Amino acid sequence: MTARNAAPIASLAFGLAVLCGAAACTNFYEIPIETPIQPKMDVSPFSRVLVAGFIGGGTDDVDANLETVRLLRSQLRSKSNLRVIEADALSLTTLAVEQSKDAPARGSNGTSGGPKAPAAPGGAADGQLQPVAALAPNGSAQEPEAKIRNEKDLEKYQGIFANTAFWKKLGEEYQNPLIVTGTVLFTPTQNSGFVMTEKEVYDQFGRRRVVPVRTYMERKGFILRPKFIFIDGRTGATLYSETFNEQVLYNAQQNTPALSSYFELMDKLVPSFLNALSTQKVRGSRVLLK
């Protein structure tokens, strides 16, 4: 073989190799997949869900109870198979205060009894008693309860979630749905210290580079700590509960409304919340091989 005919042969071989690599000889294929993650709870006995209300606390700028009820209902309406019951959000803080007052009067069985022996729907069974749903709709606080600012303040109200009679009664009023309740603490936070930021630099030839720089920054933001409790409306028993903790921090000069931060943080939690009730699909891609 001479040098003259070696060059075209080599280029032909290279061309074939490229062609082979691009088409016929490809031995891997990227493929999109959706991995289903099974729900954490079996909700098959329920066809309806009642987002009853939350014990909210933290900043005064956001009504954590109302906003959480609204957001979860809208998410459940569009992303679950359960029918969402539209009802006023309960002010659980007020109800919890009432229950704790009633508890000594009821004696040692405090947590097993209902808050006010509520009536059956329509009041047919016992006309003079009010149903649970009418006891404390949100916004009609019957007496000013102490402000909830932190986890410790919240602890005083936790007893309401163990009151199975209360939840059973509420379940009866709405034809035994799955009840969603819990606590939501949305608190402002401040955090100062060194953070890594990126800075543009230009070298002597005018080429741009981005380099990491440690900078001292004053930052402020919010912490969202919700605890979602799922209660069986037929028995009043807790089926499942899950606690989350999310934080967002901004530059101290940035003025971000509390409500925007609340939604920003809730956006991160909602998929996990929904995964308690329904199968969620995680989108990704994998490589199939020949």
Residue 75 interacting with another protein (CB under 8 A): no
Tokens encoding 163: 């009151």
Residue 10 interacting with another protein (CB under 8 A): no
Number of residues interacting with another protein: please give it, by CB under 8 A. 22
Residue 268 interacting with another protein (CB under 8 A): no
Among 122, 206, 212, 284, binds another protein (CB under 8 A): 284
Min CB(289)–another protein separation in Å: 4
DSSP 110-148: TTTS-SS-PPPGGG-S-TTSPPHHHH-BTT--SSPPPPP
- 284 vs 78, 80, 93, 121, CA distance in Å? 22, 22, 42, 48
> What residues from 222 to 261 belong to the interface with another protein (CB under 8 A)?
242
Residue 38 interacting with another protein (CB under 8 A): yes
Residue 37 interacting with another protein (CB under 8 A): yes
Cα 152 to Cα 155: distance, rounded to the nearest angstrom: 5
Structural contact between residues 236 and 168, judged by C-beta atoms closer than 8 angstroms: yes
Residue 283 interacting with another protein (CB under 8 A): no
Cα 225 to Cα 239: distance, rounded to the nearest angstrom: 20
- 237 vs 21, 165, 230, CA distance in Å? 61, 9, 9
Residue 122 interacting with another protein (CB under 8 A): no
Among 3, 31, 105, 125, binds another protein (CB under 8 A): 31
Binding site for another protein (CB under 8 A): 27-29, 31, 33-38, 40, 242, 272, 275, 279, 282, 284, 286-290
